[in-house]
Structure 1
Amino acid sequence: MRLFARLPDSVEVGGRQLPLVATRYRAARGIRLKPCAITSSLKLSLPARGGVREALDLIERHRGWLEAQVARWPAPLPFAPGAEIPFDGRTLLIDWDAARPLRPVLDGDRLRLGGPLVGVRDRTRRFLLAQARAALVPATQEEAAKLDRKVARIALNDPVGRWGSCNQRQGSINYSWRLILMPAWVRRAIVVHEVAHLVHANHGPDFWRLVAEMDGRAGESRRWLARFGREMHAVGAETGRI
């Protein structure tokens, strides 16, 4: 009998050690367990008090289900020499040689970079962030101009739950830098979606009508994201997200 049960920091599932992220909710009446492919973790929702022993039992009873879910997750794709990563709708080979200059250079379907091996991950990520900014900022301004709107601020982050967001009142738009990994037409669909929120703050019929008028491939892009979105979050990851 476990008199003083405590939740572990991680749980082994299918040969992978996954962080266990537990959150207590005052209004929660039960315990919920959810494997999250995007963060490569197990999310556990608990009531305000107690429930630890029950949560541990829940994990054990559902271990087979958890293993089946984790087996379907896309494999992590670290930024490492020889890795082939998605980039702007094509595949980009990380071509590293210590003798080369530090700064990554795009050469066809190769990203050539040098310097210490230990910095390849960070330099590759900074390169992709810069490429995302160079693509998304002018595209956003161009689409906003079509609607006679101005964007006061454009920011790039690495959110878990969405590819973009818009604050209509502030005139600001946030994007995931991972959009640069996607084909240009998918990336444009995200831009159009967020710019349309400068006109319509909600997802009502008028909003979707405007999106359809601006982008004839909006539906196709949503299907692409539903199919490949998880894989974009695996890019640059070691065992989970970067």
Structure 2
Amino acid sequence: MLSLFRRAAPPAVSAPTLTIGDRVVPVELIANSRASRMTLRADPVRGAVRVTLPPRSSRRTALAFIEAHRGWIAARVADWPEAAPFLPGAVIPFDGGKLHLDWSAANPRGIVRREDRLIIGGEAATLSGRVTRWLRAAALADVEPATRALAARIERRVAKVAVRDPVGRWGSCSSSGTVSYSWRLILAPPAVRFSVVAHEVAHLVHPNHGKDFWALAAELNGGDPATQRGWLRQHGASLHWVGRAT
């Protein structure tokens, strides 16, 4: 399976935490038999600090390493996006604009969009889950026809279009013809979302990132997708904090 902007995420073997300002930051200690030295990464997407440990490294040594780099970690964490939970009155990004979550117990149960507002009734306790489901449905309704239309242009079959919530990719295309996307793309501008669709559809022809692939992706996109890729690099992490409580 090929993906756009894949990030490796090996399993953590231990999970202490750090308190940085008003944030409690999980720390993942990753054992890697091929690592030659201890390395440190502050992941702005997952909101965690990851330490890769070479063989025979002790937990005590790892914690001392973390403490020695606390200032570096604090500087990175300060730049992380803030969580944007789905709460009554919240304003969230949507399709290049904003949506106001207009919840009231007096509103009719369900969710109805009226221009830049989502009119939401029902129980407040279920608000977050229902908004998430609404956004996922909106994402699928957008990317599925776009995917099938581009695939038809190049005479390729799409078995299925799906939306999920991966941490390390915006889209993926399997050898079986299943094309998947992050539902969070509906929070991004339309041109950014379409560039990911063009990228994944191009993989139906070229299961690699070679020269011919990039030429087809640019053709399907209607031009070089560098601007859209740049937008994702700059703003993509913040999309992963939309709907999160912490």
- TM-score, normalization by structure 2: 0.90
Deviation at 1:39, TM superposition (A): 0.8
Work out whether 1:186 is the aligned partner of 2:158: no
| Correspondence for 2:22 among 3, 15, 31 | 15
Partner of 2:141: 134
**Contact (CA 8 Å) 2:140, 2:163: kept in 1 or not?**
yes
Work out whether 1:36 is the aligned partner of 2:43: yes
Structure 1 residue runs of 5 or longer lacking an equivalent are: 1-5
Distance 2:54 2:218 in 1: 43
Distance 1:125 1:217 in 2: 32
| Correspondence for 1:151 among 152, 158, 162 | 158
Deviation at 1:185, TM superposition (A): 1.1
Distance 2:109 2:170 in 1: 30
Partner of 2:205: 199
Distance 1:94 1:213 in 2: 38
Partner of 2:4: none
**Contact (CA 8 Å) 1:154, 1:172: kept in 2 or not?**
yes
Partner of 2:3: none
Partner of 1:94: 101
- TM-score, normalization by structure 1: 0.92
Work out whether 1:232 is the aligned partner of 2:239: yes
Deviation at 1:52, TM superposition (A): 0.9
Counterparts of 1:210-229 in structure 2, within 5 Å, are: 210-215=216-221, 216-229=223-236
Deviation at 1:49, TM superposition (A): 3.8
Q: C-alpha deviations, 1:187-240, integer Å up to 9, x for none?
A: 11000000000000111110111112222151211111111111111111111x
Work out whether 1:110 is the aligned partner of 2:133: no
Work out whether 1:57 is the aligned partner of 2:33: no
**Contact (CA 8 Å) 2:109, 2:120: kept in 1 or not?**
yes
Partner of 1:3: none
**Contact (CA 8 Å) 2:136, 2:183: kept in 1 or not?**
yes
Q: C-alpha deviations, 1:78-101, integer Å up to 9, x for none?
A: 111111100011100011001223
Distance 1:37 1:139 in 2: 30
Q: 1:217 to 1:113 in 2, by over 3 A?
A: farther
SS of residue matched to 1:227: helix
Distance 1:16 1:102 in 2: 35
Q: C-alpha deviations, 1:100-141, integer Å up to 9, x for none?
A: 233111111001101111111101100000100111111110
Deviation at 1:45, TM superposition (A): 1.5
**Contact (CA 8 Å) 1:31, 1:51: kept in 2 or not?**
no
Which one has more relative contact order, counting CA pairs under 8 Å at least 6 apart?
Answer: 2
